[in-house]
Amino acid sequence: MEQAPGSPQEPQDERGLPGCYRHPDRPTGIRCIRCERPICPECMVSASVGFQCPECVRSGSGTGHAPTANRPRTLAGGTIAADPRLVTKVLIGICVLVYLGQQAVDLFDGRFELIGRAMVPGFDTPQGVAEGQWYRLVTSMFMHVSITHIAFNMLTLWWIGGPLEAALGRARFLALYLVSGLAGSALCYLLMAPNEASLGASGAIFGALGATPIMMRRLNYDLRPVIGLLVVNLIITFAWGGIAWQAHVGGLVAGLAIGYAMVHAPREHRSLVQYGTCALVLLATVITVVVRTAQLT
């Protein structure tokens, strides 16, 4: 005999939320519209109304037909992947490899860190974004100052990146991450002294931090843990010296805007709204870089 959904025997957390039927350690407020089993973001499949579990999609439950109409979709409309944390793992791996390169290769930092326009030791001519080295806006996103710096950033990315990637899908999560990071780099370029260098994945991570509470609110999750983490990071941002707060603020604002579009885009124009918002934020980033470059040259 199967246990009826919502019965008193269904495992619940301290807030009364049941665990996902496939991942009992993940409390959720969302249920399959057909079988009513609780499902987490990784198991959600978009339906015409609400969400279905993977089993109901595969079996075509209640339709009398083979399940060929809809592919499994995430909360934001992305394709459900076998490994919902793959992009997060790849991003962490790239950051680690780049950090090793920083330690092993001479002039690595001077060649790839974010700097407006300055004479850099080891180079005979001025270096920086204003000199046409726009790639620094991207490469600096994967560099770190110290082992403590990269360890803290990668732990934060692992903690929030996996669930967010599972909810958005790989392509949408990667777009959010990269555009947020670029927005943080652009604000650094605009507001920091041209000879002041910055580097780190914090801008992109703050973008993910901004999108996470929007996703969690949509799923009726407890917002207190992620809000607490965001507040602590903001306190550190403005209380400690030597931190490029511009990257944090730029990434956070971009993440909030893109995250809202990802989660709340209307189903009939979902991809247009989601990627259109990314394009608008990217356009604002490009304009910022162009304006600053004109000031410095």
Confidence of residue 50 (pLDDT cuts 50, 70, 90): low
For residue 45, the surrounding DSSP H or E stretch is: strand 45-46
The number of folded domains in the chain is 2
> Shortest CA distance to 86 belongs to which of 185, 173, 186, 191?
173
- Give the model's pLDDT for residue 73: 74
At 252-292, the pLDDT tens digits run: 999 999 999 999 998 888 899 999 999 999 999 999 999 99
193-209 tens-digit pLDDT: 999 999 999 999 999 99
Q: How buried is 114 (Cβ within 10 angstroms: 0-12 exposed, 13-18 middle, 19+ buried)?
A: buried
Helix pair angle (170-191, 270-296), 10° resolution: 20
Could you tell me if residue 18 is inside a domain?
yes
Count each helix (H run) and each strand (E run) in the chain, helices first. Answer: 10, 2
> At 227, which amino acid appears?
I
Domain end call among 19, 52, 73: 73
Three-class secondary structure of residue 12 per DSSP? strand
Same-domain check for residues 107 and 62: no
Residues 208, 264, single domain; the answer is: yes
Residue 255 · residue 210 · CB < 8 Å: yes
Q: What is the domain range of residue 192?
A: 86-296
Q: Are residues 262 and 221 in the same domain?
A: yes
Q: What is the pLDDT of residues 82-105, one digit of tens each?
A: 788 999 999 999 999 999 999 999
80 found inside a domain: no
What span, in angstroms and rounded, lies between the C-alpha atoms of 68 and 61?
12
